[in-house]
Amino acid sequence: MLAWTIYISFAGALIAALLPKDKPVFARWFALTVATAGMAISIAGYAAGMGQGRLTIIDAPWVPSMGIHYLLMADGISRVLVLLTGIAAVAGILFSWNVELRVNQFFAFYLALIGGVYGVFLNGDLFLLFVFYEIAIVPKYFLISIWGSTRRQYGAMKLALYSFVGSAMVLIGLLAAYTTSGSHSTVLTDLAHAGLPANFQMWCFPLVFVGFAILAGMWPFHTWAPTGHVAAPTAASMLLAGVVMKLGAYGCLRVGIGLFPRGLDPWGFSLLGIGSWRDVFAWLAVIGIVYGALVALAQTDFKFVIGYSSVSHMGFVLLGLMTLNQIGVDGAVLQMFSHGVIAGLLFAIVGRVVYDRTHTRQFAELETMHLARRLPFAAWTFVFAAVASMGMPGFSGFVAELQVLVGAWRVNPAWTTVSGIGIIVGVAYIWRALQKAFFTDALPTAHELESEQARRFPPITWPEIAGVILLGACTLAVGIYPRILLDQIEPAVKSLLAGGAQ
């Protein structure tokens, strides 16, 4: 059943491209219908998968002579991420209701991107996973470069090239693993069973891991993320932060750790306390957490704050993966979901609710606008999202980050200690942004009041309210009752850690 999420998205993309250009309303409703259907399928698939392990959805030989299968399967991790994709897709369309330029093409690229993302999350064959992974690159480029804002062509090209370099590394790893295992099959379980030699895993693991981690925003390969997020139109930055960065993290987990578990073994020597690839990547993740937060603290552009906060939050995902223990990896997967929802909400507020009305994202200008009074809806939703992003108990981010930190403590308390600094700075940058954008101290001057009267903001529209409710409800629900996701994540992580991808 879950496979239909892929098919309807691609079919939807094709039809959207052929829809008449001059009827934007039609294209919007069509895209919303397709995305909602996808979300409904993902929810139904999630519910049906409760208490079940890994389910094969479809297994057909694709290229029999090379052992490539069209194999779609879903375990708990996949189902959680498919659910996230369904939600993010609907929210993204709700927040791009006001796109007026080439609407049918916009939604065609959008749905193609969504289809690729669903495809990656539901994959059981490394070759097929790579195919879907690359399908997702091209629509991103066009979404950003056509409908984006600040330095959009630069941001889009940078993003496309970073993604393509990352996927080239993955492709090299894929070819190497395929031929080393005897060129029989590209199915993940077959490759994991093939007994790849430890010294092979030792160099192939970092190659593939870094290839995927580029898209997950790992420091120092994160620089595409802030520029790409800022340049992207609202819906695209929601998807980028919400699901596309998760593609990278998912690849790290499923392919990197699942296929090359021996690559994480100690090297046999240690340098400055770093004795394995695990230490290397964990420290890069920790640096990402702190660095992202510190840079976010110094931004003058509202959207850059959120862009760098994504780097910081994705650092938790990578750190969680590198703990290699149950609670840490659980936390990482939960953090993928949590960050997907929260970052989506933050980008929606900054990019759609605020920017499309004020036409500026500079704090210096926003400070003069007294948005708390003029856009109370935006202000209070942002307070809500900010609190969720800081990791307050009761919101999804708290559960996820706590688990990651506990898992990290068990391996190396230093990781947790340093990441803690990142959390504290995280409170600071989000608080600073909140204060500068919405709650300035200065009273409005007479001149400002006059211009406010002259130029009123357009009222908040229903799609915005619907989108905020959807995303807000998700983060609250997971925060209050995390078992709703953990029940599926835990068994899947357990089996993945127990035997690689076997």
Partner 1 sequence: MNFAALFRATLPETILEIAALIVLVVDLGFLRKAAMPARIAAAALVGIAGCAIALWAVTIAVPYRWASDLLLAAGGSAEVAQLAILILTLLTLLLLIGSEFTRNPGEYVSVVLMAAAGGLLISAAQDLIVIFTGLELLSLSLYILTAFAKKSGKSAEAAVKYYIFGAMSAAFLLFGFSYLYGISGSTNLRWIVQESYFPSVSGGAPLLYVAFAMIATGLGFKVAAVPFHSWAPDTYEGAPIPSATFIASVSKVASFALLISISVALAHGFGADNQVRLVFLNLGPATQLAGPQAKWGLILAVLSVASMIVGNLAALVQSSVRRLLAYSAIAHAGYILLGLAFFSTSSLSAEAILYYIVTYGLTTVGAFGVVGVVERATGSDKMDAFLGLQKRNPMLAAALLVLFLSLAGIPPLVGFWAKFNLFAAVLRVSAGVVPFTLVALAVAFSAVSLYYYLQVLKRAYVMPATDDSPIRAHPATFAVLLAITAAVVVLGCFPTLLQGWMASFYPAP
Binding span for partner 1 by CB under 8 A among 86-94, 126-134, 387-395, 459-467 = 126-134
CA–CA gap between residue 350 and residue 361 (Å, rounded): 8
Q: Least CB distance from residue 268 to partner 1, whole Å?
A: 22
Cβ closest to partner 1, residue 146 vs residue 421: 146
What tokens were used for 310?
Answer: 């994504």
135 is a contact residue toward partner 1 (CB under 8 A) = yes
What is the H or E stretch that residue 49 is in?
none
Q: Which of 59, 134, 452, 490 binds partner 1 (CB under 8 A)?
A: 134
63 is a contact residue toward partner 1 (CB under 8 A) = yes
Contact of 278 with 214, CB cutoff 8 Å: no
What tokens were used for 444?
Answer: 């409005």
194 is a contact residue toward partner 1 (CB under 8 A) = no
Binding span for partner 1 by CB under 8 A among 124-132, 271-279, 342-350, 357-365 = 124-132
Q: Least CB distance from residue 156 to partner 1, whole Å?
A: 8
Best CA proximity match to 501, nearest among 129, 132, 244, 45: 129
183 is a contact residue toward partner 1 (CB under 8 A) = yes
Q: Is beta strand 274-276 parallel, antiparallel or unpaired with respect to 55-63?
A: unpaired
Q: Least CB distance from residue 381 to partner 1, whole Å?
A: 32
Question: Residue 19 region, left (φ>0) first, then alpha (ψ -120 to 50), else beta?
Answer: beta
CA 173 to chain centre: 23
Cβ closest to partner 1, residue 14 vs residue 44: 14
167 is a contact residue toward partner 1 (CB under 8 A) = yes
CA–CA gap between residue 427 and residue 390 (Å, rounded): 5
CA–CA gap between residue 125 and residue 62 (Å, rounded): 10
Binding span for partner 1 by CB under 8 A among 165-173, 274-282, 332-340, 392-400 = 165-173
Q: Least CB distance from residue 257 to partner 1, whole Å?
A: 22
Contact of 304 with 223, CB cutoff 8 Å: no
Cβ closest to partner 1, residue 200 vs residue 409: 200
Cβ closest to partner 1, residue 146 vs residue 383: 146
CA–CA gap between residue 51 and residue 379 (Å, rounded): 40
Q: In the window 72-111, what residues touch partner 1 (CB under 8 A)?
A: 105
Cβ closest to partner 1, residue 179 vs residue 453: 179
Binding span for partner 1 by CB under 8 A among 170-178, 224-232, 405-413, 485-493 = 170-178
Cβ closest to partner 1, residue 135 vs residue 428: 135
141 is a contact residue toward partner 1 (CB under 8 A) = yes
> In three state form, how does the secondary structure of 363-413 look?
HHHHCCCCHHHHCHHHHHHHHHHHHHHHCCCCCHHHHHHHHHHHHHHHHCH
212 is a contact residue toward partner 1 (CB under 8 A) = no
Contact of 323 with 407, CB cutoff 8 Å: yes
Contact of 326 with 493, CB cutoff 8 Å: yes
Binding span for partner 1 by CB under 8 A among 58-66, 285-293, 430-438, 479-487 = 58-66
Cβ closest to partner 1, residue 223 vs residue 451: 223
Q: In the window 433-452, what residues touch partner 1 (CB under 8 A)?
A: none
153 is a contact residue toward partner 1 (CB under 8 A) = yes
Binding span for partner 1 by CB under 8 A among 164-172, 219-227, 319-327, 467-475 = 164-172
Q: Which of 98, 180, 435, 461 binds partner 1 (CB under 8 A)?
A: 180
20 is a contact residue toward partner 1 (CB under 8 A) = no
178 is a contact residue toward partner 1 (CB under 8 A) = yes
Contact of 12 with 30, CB cutoff 8 Å: yes
145 is a contact residue toward partner 1 (CB under 8 A) = yes
Instruction: Write out the DSSP string of 239-275.
Output: HIIIIIHHHHHHHIIIIIIHH-GGGGSEEEEEETTEE
362 is a contact residue toward partner 1 (CB under 8 A) = no
64 is a contact residue toward partner 1 (CB under 8 A) = yes
Contact of 393 with 356, CB cutoff 8 Å: no
131 is a contact residue toward partner 1 (CB under 8 A) = yes
Count residues near partner 1 (CB under 8 A): 34
Q: Which of 20, 25, 65, 443 binds partner 1 (CB under 8 A)?
A: 65
The CA angle 359-363-364, to the nearest 5 degrees, is 95
CA–CA gap between residue 79 and residue 435 (Å, rounded): 38
Best CA proximity match to 56, nearest among 2, 106, 110: 2
202 is a contact residue toward partner 1 (CB under 8 A) = no
Contact of 296 with 235, CB cutoff 8 Å: no
CA–CA gap between residue 112 and residue 10 (Å, rounded): 5
What tokens were used for 399?
Answer: 């559960």
Kindly list the residues in this chain that would bind partner 1 in the complex (CB under 8 A).
Answer: 17, 62-66, 105, 127, 130-131, 134-135, 137-138, 141-142, 145-146, 153, 157, 160-161, 164-165, 167-168, 171-172, 175-176, 178-180, 183
